Structure 1
Amino acid sequence: MPLSNQVILVTGAGGGLGGTAALALAKQGAQIILLDKRIPKLERIYDAIVNDGGPEPVMYPFDLAGASEEQYQEMADAIEQRYGALQGLLHSAAELSAYTPIAIHKTQDWGHTLNVNLNAPFLLCRVLLPLLQKSVHASIVFTSDSSTRKPQAYSGAFGVSKIALEGFAKILAEELEAGGKIRVNSLIPGPVNSPLRKKVYPGEDKSVLPEMSSLAPIYCYLFDTASIGVTGQIIDAQNFTR
């Protein structure tokens, strides 16, 4: 169990990719903190982990977009009180209402998307960095998107947020590299049969897409000791080799 005694927080844990990552990491012995705003979805992945024999996870209902800075800090304080330190942080939560032309993009949707996809990762990193620094080694993983390589029309706030998130990840990686404790990388999951993919491309033949479970080895690698020393990288799941 290579991830035994590792505490990893997963945002968007009730979603497709977040749930897949949480289950994969728990299978390797990690203690998972499941963070999502939808309690029924948290309960489903909680049950899946327990039924699969993984360590009992912790559910933390939390609205990334609506929470105040004080609530973010309260969450960090609660984690410190329970665990003392943190070894992993996976930013998997994502907001994408629909592909929309900029000319008719609603201001409210724009702000909400940026809050979930960009501002929340910043706030989480800021309040959780002290706990990650307490570990001998720790890993932060951001979830990017292939559209950042070639910005697409109509991707709106989602596209802008993912481009900015990759930049943020690289800045953070450079700031933390000298310390030698915390590695920071971005993962591009690529086209997989996920709920978000179904929402964006409803007419697509999903039978030709890889299942979300195909990403399990990548998630485990990024939080395992095998990735120590790998930082500031953009890892494309379609080209991943160990």
Structure 2
Amino acid sequence: MSLNEQVILVTGAGGGLGGTAAQALAGQGAQVILLDKSIPKLEKVYDAIVAAGGPEPVMYPFDLAGASEAQYEEMAEAIAQRYGVLHGVLHAAVEFSAYSPIANYKTKDWGHALNVNLSAPFLLCRVLLPLLQRSEHASIVFISDSSARKVQAYSGAYGVAKIALEGFAGILAAELEAGQKIRVNTLVPGPVDSPLRKRAYPAEDKAALPSMNSLDPLFVYLFSDASIGKTGQIIDAQTFKP
């Protein structure tokens, strides 16, 4: 499933699932735009892609929570000037510190989590849709969590954002389906040995979990021609077979 000449933006690309996905996509020939607020983390993923022989990625340091709408638009314009088109967006950035009762949430923390987990995907989609429309076929993928359907206690702003994100993805998919150019899907990774999992379940035996690289085939599938026609889906990585 070659991704040669495909330009794909990955948020949260400095580590976790975002970094893993970026390397998997670059490994199939994609030109990856690495977006994260941490420059050292971006450099680490950049070096890994180059060392593996993938196309040289582009690093784009960006604070999803702190950026203004004008800065989002500037980012879209920078991509337009460099590539002229965008073939995919993976929303992998996440904000989660720990499970906590709603009663203990501070307003600032609540707002910050919603900004990264929900508002940023909306803003990115809004400013990048014109670039995605220039592609014959494009793919938008949101990473969610099984807690979005379980309505899990103590998941707080993170849980609320994931519930809303799945709804947003469904609405966006329905709006874009008639054009038959941009497909929109949500990926639920399930339990994998990721930094997020370590924060959420610190006492869990991570050796028993699949590695993040176990998701590589799914990431590649969702951005390759093999997934054209599949849209508005919530894909459970534990059961789905590309």
Flag whether TM exceeds 0.5 (same fold): yes
Number of the residue aligned with 2:70: 70
Number of the residue aligned with 2:195: 195
How far, CA to CA, are the matches of 1:105 and 1:28 in structure 2?
Answer: 42
TM-score (norm 1): 0.99
Deviation at 1:15, TM superposition (A): 1.9
CA displacement, residues 87-130 of structure 1 (integer Å, 9 cap, x when unaligned): 00000000012111011111111000000000000000000000
Number of the residue aligned with 1:216: 216
TM-score (norm 2): 0.99
Q: Which moved more, 1:176-185 or 1:96-105?
A: 96-105
Q: For residues 164-179 of structure 1, what are the structure 2 equivalents within 5 Å? A: 164-179=164-179
How far, CA to CA, are the matches of 1:232 and 1:77 in structure 2?
Answer: 27
Q: For residues 224-239 of structure 1, what are the structure 2 equivalents within 5 Å? A: 224-239=224-239
Q: Which amino acid aligns with 2:19?
A: G
Q: Which amino acid aligns with 2:192?
A: V
Deviation at 1:200, TM superposition (A): 1.0
How far, CA to CA, are the matches of 2:191 and 2:101 in structure 1?
Answer: 22
Q: Is the 8 A contact 2:15 2:45 kept in 1?
A: no
Q: Which amino acid aligns with 1:167?
A: G
Q: For residues 130-169 of structure 1, what are the structure 2 equivalents within 5 Å? A: 130-169=130-169
CA displacement, residues 157-206 of structure 1 (integer Å, 9 cap, x when unaligned): 00000000000000000000000000000000100000110011110000
Q: Unaligned stretches of 5+ in structure 2?
A: none
Q: After TM superposition, what 4+ stretches of structure 1 lie above 4 angstroms from structure 2?
A: none
State yes or no: 1:4 paired with 2:4. Answer: yes
Q: Is the 8 A contact 1:76 1:127 kept in 2?
A: yes
Number of the residue aligned with 1:45: 45
Q: Which amino acid aligns with 2:95?
A: E
Q: Is the 8 A contact 2:91 2:121 kept in 1?
A: yes
How far, CA to CA, are the matches of 1:181 and 1:78 in structure 2?
Answer: 22
Q: Is the 8 A contact 2:192 2:209 kept in 1?
A: yes
Q: Which amino acid aligns with 1:35?
A: L
Q: Which amino acid aligns with 1:24?
A: A
How far, CA to CA, are the matches of 2:122 and 2:209 in structure 1?
Answer: 31
How far, CA to CA, are the matches of 2:118 and 2:107 in structure 1?
Answer: 16
Q: Which amino acid aligns with 2:172?
A: L
Number of the residue aligned with 2:35: 35
How far, CA to CA, are the matches of 1:211 and 1:97 in structure 2?
Answer: 21
Q: Is the 8 A contact 1:113 1:157 kept in 2?
A: yes
Q: Is the 8 A contact 1:97 1:109 kept in 2?
A: no
Percent of aligned positions with the same letter in both sequences? Answer: 76
Q: Which moved more, 1:176-185 or 1:143-152?
A: 143-152
Aligned length: 242
How far, CA to CA, are the matches of 1:230 and 1:45 in structure 2?
Answer: 29
Q: Which amino acid aligns with 1:117?
A: N
Deviation at 1:240, TM superposition (A): 1.3
| CA RMSD, Structure 1 to Structure 2 (Å) | 0.6
Three-state SS of the structure 1 residue aligned to 2:82 is: helix
State yes or no: 1:91 paired with 2:61. Answer: no
Q: Which amino acid aligns with 1:146?
A: S
How far, CA to CA, are the matches of 1:23 and 1:147 in structure 2?
Answer: 27
Q: Is the 8 A contact 1:136 1:181 kept in 2?
A: yes
Number of the residue aligned with 2:13: 13
